[in-house]
A and B are shown apart, each in its own frame.
Chain A
Amino acid sequence: MRIFFDPEVLAAAWPGVRSGIGVTLGLALTSIAAGVALGLVLATIRALIRGAPLRPVGGLIAAYADVFRAMPPLVLLVVLYFAAPFAGIELSGFMAAFVALGLVLGASAEEIFWAGITSVNRGQWEAALSTGLSRGEAFRRVVLPQAVRLTIPPLTNRAIATGKNTALASVVAVPEVLNQAASVQAQTASPAPLLLAAGVYVALFLPLVRIGRWLETRFHIR
């Protein structure tokens, strides 16, 4: 017990882990916001170009979603950080993690929004168009609000997964919670910092899980 919760090691680890919390939250919030926004924009484009001559764009969006849902975020991250410099693209660890997590979440979010949009009854489009609303207005005022309700539970899960995946950034030396804990662990050869990090992650993301559950009931379709 003493080994796992060594108070001296914990005290030594805490300042670094505490500063890591800010980095973890910053990376989580920015990549979740970017991923959700990217998914929404792409799904909107895909919904509005149906039937137009731009139809191949929809195929490209679907291809992006498929590829990046098949890509492990850790692999994408190391490619961006360690391989991209050979192509002249130098990203900081934080930027590489932000781009990797954002792209992966964006792909999932696009599919989730798209599934929500296509599950809205065709009659809703027709009713809106029959009153002279433009396609854009029909989408924004009628279809999207209904799609978003269906989207909340799966999207919340993906957002939480993205938040937890910020721990992957420790491999590219982003000083977030796990990275800070691991460096103290390496110096002290004590497992205590890792347990501290585990506790911090639960403390950070348990509220998100709870909020997600609340949103699910709040947006439950009657």
Chain B
Amino acid sequence: MSSVLELRGVGKTFGGVPALKDIHLAVGASELVALIGPSGSGKSTLLRCCNRLAEPDAGDVVFEGNPVPAGGAELASVRRRMGMVFQAFNLYPHLNALENAALAPRRAAGLSQSEAETAAREALERVGLGDRTTAMPDELSGGQQQRVAIARALALRPRILLLDEPTSALDPELVGSVLRVIRSLKEDGVAMLIATHEIAFAREAADRIAFLADGEILESGPPAEVLDRPKSERLQSFLSRL
């Protein structure tokens, strides 16, 4: 099976300090791959290298068989098909839920206003917020805001979603609503690469887990293998501290 997204030897340094070292990772169609690891291990940087919000210094990011272009309209077109969800939601505070989700379909994908709104409405229904289309972000709970952010990415019908700790900024009682949405997307066959601290969720929902420490993937494989039979000391101590 060909990969939707593949990282081949990706490296990145910040001011001489290596943040990612020789990352090899592939996400297949309708696969969910979870990135786990301590804070500062490079999970966010890895995700941001995928759509070049962070510029990798080494290696290749390959999307649907082609290297991700360096810039311009070609990069924008890849970004549309590679949805991103942020830890801090980053909703547009001056736009309501529907406008948040309709902006890129209208202005990046070039749909008509009514087509864009239809795509946005469908995406909001998919995350269970079909009845909150006119709500402003600050009128929504954290969980609802994150679901709007997921809808914003889904409205572009992406081939893969990159989720950067989507539940880390949420109150504990709101985490479940977001994870339920992510699970339902998996059932619909949306490929996902998700950085998360929700180990229980990763165990049950992920096809594969990659453990990242100090910018390196130390272990990867099916959840049972990685979580129940950790080989490295780093992973053993990481899991024991949860």
Contact A146 B94 (CB under 8 A): yes
Inter-chain contacts of B53 with A (CB < 8 A):
126, 129-130
Is A85 located at the chain interface by the 8 A CB criterion? no
Inter-chain contacts of A123 with B (CB < 8 A):
86, 88, 90
Q: How many A residues face the partner with a CB closer than 8 A? A: 20
Contact B92 A132 (CB under 8 A): no
A133 and B76 contact, Cβ closer than 8 Å, known pairs A126-B53, A141-B107, A222-B138: yes
Inter-chain contacts of B86 with A (CB < 8 A):
123, 126-127
Is A217 located at the chain interface by the 8 A CB criterion? no
Is B113 located at the chain interface by the 8 A CB criterion? no
Docked pose: A63 CA to B149 CA in angstroms: 39
Inter-chain contacts of A129 with B (CB < 8 A):
53, 79
Inter-chain contacts of A131 with B (CB < 8 A):
79-80, 83-84, 103-104, 108, 152-153, 156
Is A137 located at the chain interface by the 8 A CB criterion? yes
Is A62 located at the chain interface by the 8 A CB criterion? no
Inter-chain contacts of B94 with A (CB < 8 A):
145-146, 149
Contact B109 A130 (CB under 8 A): no
Contact B90 A124 (CB under 8 A): yes
Inter-chain contacts of A132 with B (CB < 8 A):
76-80, 104, 108-109, 156
Is B144 located at the chain interface by the 8 A CB criterion? no
Contact B92 A127 (CB under 8 A): yes
Q: Which of A126, A133, A137, A141 contacts B90 (CB 8 A)?
A: A126
Q: Which of B84, B88, B104 contacts A133 (CB 8 A)?
A: B104
Contact B90 A121 (CB under 8 A): yes
Inter-chain contacts of A146 with B (CB < 8 A):
92-94
Is B196 located at the chain interface by the 8 A CB criterion? no
Most chain B CB inside 10 Å of its own CB: which residue of A127, A131, A222: A131
Is A134 located at the chain interface by the 8 A CB criterion? yes
Most chain B CB inside 10 Å of its own CB: which residue of A126, A146, A221: A126
Inter-chain contacts of B107 with A (CB < 8 A):
133, 137, 141
Docked pose: A132 CA to B78 CA in angstroms: 7
Contact B92 A133 (CB under 8 A): no
Contact A124 B92 (CB under 8 A): yes
Is B51 located at the chain interface by the 8 A CB criterion? yes
Most chain B CB inside 10 Å of its own CB: which residue of A124, A130, A137, A222: A130
Inter-chain contacts of A221 with B (CB < 8 A):
93
A142 and B138 contact, Cβ closer than 8 Å, known pairs A123-B86, A133-B76, A137-B108: no
Please, which residue of chain A has its CB at the minimum distance from the CB of B53?
Answer: A126
Docked pose: A81 CA to B84 CA in angstroms: 57
Inter-chain contacts of B92 with A (CB < 8 A):
124, 127-128, 142, 146
Inter-chain contacts of B156 with A (CB < 8 A):
131-132
Inter-chain contacts of A121 with B (CB < 8 A):
90
- CB under 8 Å from chain A, chain B span 52-102: 53, 73, 76-80, 82-84, 86, 88, 90-94
Docked pose: A132 CA to B80 CA in angstroms: 5
Inter-chain contacts of A133 with B (CB < 8 A):
76, 103-104, 107-108
Please, which residue of chain A has its CB at the minimum distance from the CB of B82?
Answer: A130
Docked pose: A126 CA to B87 CA in angstroms: 12
Inter-chain contacts of B78 with A (CB < 8 A):
132
Contact B79 A130 (CB under 8 A): yes
Docked pose: A201 CA to B77 CA in angstroms: 55
- CB under 8 Å from chain A, chain B span 23-53: 51, 53
Q: Can you give 25 contacting A-B residue pairs, CB < 8 Å?
A: A123-B86, A123-B88, A123-B90, A126-B53, A126-B84, A126-B86, A127-B90, A128-B92, A129-B79, A130-B51, A130-B83, A130-B84, A130-B153, A131-B79, A131-B104, A131-B156, A132-B78, A132-B79, A132-B108, A132-B156, A133-B76, A133-B104, A137-B107, A142-B103, A145-B94
- By Cβ-Cβ distance, the 3 closest A-B pairs, closest first, are A132-B80, A131-B104, A127-B90
